[in-house]
Amino acid sequence: MTIRMASRRRAAALAATGASLALILTACADTGDGGDGGGGDGGGEAASFEIDCAPYEEFGDLEGTSVSVYTTIVEPESVTQTASYEPFEECTGVTVEYEASREMEAQLPVRVQAGNPPDIAILPQPGLLNTLVTQYDAVLPAPEQVEANVDEFWSEDWKEYGTVDGTFYAAPLGSNVKSYVWYSPSMFEEAGYEVPETWDDMMALTEEIAASGAIPWCAGVESGDATGWPGTDWIEDVVLRTAGPEVYDQWYTHEIPFNDPQIVDAFDTAGEILKNPDYVNGGLGGVDSIATAPWTDAGFPILEGSCWMHRAANFYQTQWPEGTEVAPDGDVYAFYLPSQSTDERPTLVAGEFIGAFTDRPEVQAFQTYLSSSDWANAKAAATPAGGWVSANNGLDPELLATEFDRLSAEILADPATVARFDASDLMPSEVGTGSFWAGITEWFASDASSQEVTDDIENSWPTN
């Protein structure tokens, strides 16, 4: 699951429910935010960002109309999100009504069934798009302007993720790069360790650190009712490296069974790190503590020096405690999770998609804006603290706020990168957000074997 937006779910849930009164107040405040049409004063930076208004003229006079957006992107990310809509609002006079909820993924199908869908939903995973199309027949195919934009600015692969049964529905919005290992540059330098270039180098480094008496890795997959997703990312990354992209494609499309020997092999390869008590779980406990450690804090032991490496996506950047410097010479930085050799760079990616439920001109105009490079650049300009990147090839890397974001953009744009979308987001929801999450949690929690876990998941694959 690609929930950068859900990232603060646990922490916020704790805080909000600590006093139920506070929860009610928060809920009221949330709707209040949605009402005023996208944070009028929040984004001074974006307002100064100029775009070309011409593409939206063909939709006619849109002055005074409004478009409702429903999303999982809550505060603080919502501030930069709404700020990035301002150039469009200034061009067209359309008001964007922004509504964010952590329960959006559960509530959206309910609203669709009740005949009360938003105009536009920011779908955090293609699996949800698939459900909405195949089960509820609710999402409208993308208008031609959007398709033209996507053809121009995005690769075939990305367009494919927004396509269901040959019809293109949803343009990609932001992108995440998941194949990162976070580490402390200063700790590495003091100990004389080099950033590993291949998987074997990385295993050798792991052994070296373990031999010195330290625990090299830390990991955590607890994420409320989405517990398990960071573990599935680990497995997916390893499948890409041990079995290769072709097998990966066959795997999530179920051309090969989930318990295919190559997949079991990938589980075991990941297990060489994640299920070895000498290698995990620095600062957090034993192997089983991976199941209970909240993913939001699982990398923090690096800051305390009790862990050396933590595999997590680029959006983990925003998780570090305030004051942590993310830079090649700072407190923490990330290196690309290496593959078997240096000339292939399989990369696990994820992202959000724009689904439309109505086809009024202002809605289509807004869809067109969101799929353009203008939006990507406006968003980059509106995000001064960083932590956001897109595979939109019209994105100007210079506008990205941090060196790390530019590294992510570079990886996404690199022709040597073989990008594959997060498989659990593409699998049927029974598996992708059900048995795969549950299985990987069991794999850590009760020391279930790779064979047992993959057998169970294979049995849960829907037959119809």
Partner 1 sequence: MDWLLNAGDDPAHKFLLMIIAIVLFVAVMALILFVVDKPRNPSKWFIAGGFVGPALLLLAAGLLYPAIGTIVNSFQRRNSSEFVGFDNYARAFSDPAFLLVLGNTALWVLVAPALATFIGLVYAVVVDHSRFEKFAKALVFLPMAISMVGASIIWRFVYEYKPDQPGIEQTGLLNQLIVWLGGSPVQFLLERPGNTFLLMVVLIWIQTGFSMTLLSASIRAIPTDIVEAARLDGLSGFGMFWRITIPSIRPALVVVLTTIAMTTLKVFDIVRTMTAGRYGTSVVANEFYEQSFRQNNAGLGAALAVLLFIIVIPVIIYNVRQMRLAEEVR
- Interacting residues toward partner 1 by CB under 8 A: 13-14, 17-20, 31-32, 35-36, 105-106, 109-110, 131, 135-136, 215, 224-225, 227-228, 281, 283-286, 288-289, 291-292, 304, 306, 429-430, 433-434, 438, 441, 445-446, 460, 464
Shortest separation between residue 8's beta carbon and partner 1, angstroms:
16
Shortest separation between residue 27's beta carbon and partner 1, angstroms:
12
For 452, half-sphere exposure in the C-beta direction (CA atoms, 13 angstrom radius) is 11
DSSP letters, 270-326, are HHHHHT-TTTS-TTT-STTHHHHSBTTTTTTHHHHTS--BEE--GGGGGTSPTT--B
Shortest separation between residue 248's beta carbon and partner 1, angstroms:
23
Shortest separation between residue 283's beta carbon and partner 1, angstroms:
7
Q: Choose between 138 and 376: whose C-beta lies nearer to partner 1.
A: 138
Closest CA to 200 of 233, 148, 241: 241
Q: Choose between 10 and 311: whose C-beta lies nearer to partner 1.
A: 10
* Structural contact between residues 295 and 220, judged by C-beta atoms closer than 8 angstroms: yes
Q: Choose between 232 and 441: whose C-beta lies nearer to partner 1.
A: 441
Closest CA to 252 of 266, 268, 263, 242: 263
HEC string of 168-200? ECCEEEEEEECCEEEECHHHHHHHCCCCCCCHH
- What is the distance between the alpha carbons of residues 390 and 413, in angstroms, rounded to a whole number? 9
Q: Choose between 293 and 391: whose C-beta lies nearer to partner 1.
A: 293
CA-CA-CA-CA torsion sign (238, 239, 241, 245): negative
Q: Choose between 387 and 428: whose C-beta lies nearer to partner 1.
A: 428
Shortest separation between residue 361's beta carbon and partner 1, angstroms:
20
Q: Choose between 234 and 335: whose C-beta lies nearer to partner 1.
A: 234
If DSSP codes are grouped into helix, strand and coil, which group holds residue 418?
Answer: strand
Shortest separation between residue 349's beta carbon and partner 1, angstroms:
24
